Structure 1
């Protein structure tokens, strides 16, 4: 079972107004899909968490938006319940189809920020590849991380490759993360039996994965 982190950039000239509002509104720092309900009749109910001004959310924002209900809040996040018809907007219909595809699960939250959409997907390799192959032309999808899914209960270290875990363990043992630092990339490379640039690459990729996991958890906690 594979686990992917994905960033999708949408062509601004072909992006529907509702997507532009979610991902690139100057009034909104970040929007997250917290929950959704796939219903019959072509209507979908989505719960958003919004960091910013929710005034752009309104019925009639786009032809696909049926109704909007907002919470009152004094904190950073405002929750907005939206009923929409994704079938009337090809881009959102494609996202809906990907979520409903057998063999994969799109994990929440889906994050809209800086014009892009970021999300995580779990599934079997064939289904994941098929979903990537059927990405709409207006969307440029980049897989930023790929690994084996080990479950929510495991530490983010489980997302690292064996070589990345080994590099981190050696770095810790040698004092690379001590203050002051007691080891260099050359020292780590000697222990790993590889070139220093290779050791540096293993460490950088491992550190990036751990940092992303930590920030995802932090952002999720802020609007629970």
Structure 2
């Protein structure tokens, strides 16, 4: 078990999400970036939303707060520490889970539709275009998109 072999990990548990992935609960010694993130969040009255994503010596996190507090926090980032703002806007708790009800195939069709411009205004792709890219029939694309759209929109409203 790779987590148990890490010297900075005190305790951990991995939960199987019935085929849709895993959640790892890890208690570990604070990393420099993780400690800084918590300090800056505390100092500027921000909420750090979970999960935190650690990959390739990087930390990805969602910070929630007022525009004023977020701007002040960004201004407090010390020189030499790289950061980027991937997105800014209205915070919708759980929005990262909007796609979780989709099957793998629905997600593939939905993501392809977005990438090809199906949802652009004006529309840049048709069911036929998406079907050609995925190697299936346009009617299959239609069915998967309708089901995916229904699940995503229902998740937004509930």
Q: TM-score, normalised by structure 2?
A: 0.50
Structure ranking higher in helix proportion: 2
Kindly indicate which of the two structures has a greater share of residues assigned to strand: 1
- Larger RCO (CA under 8 A, 6+ residues apart): 1
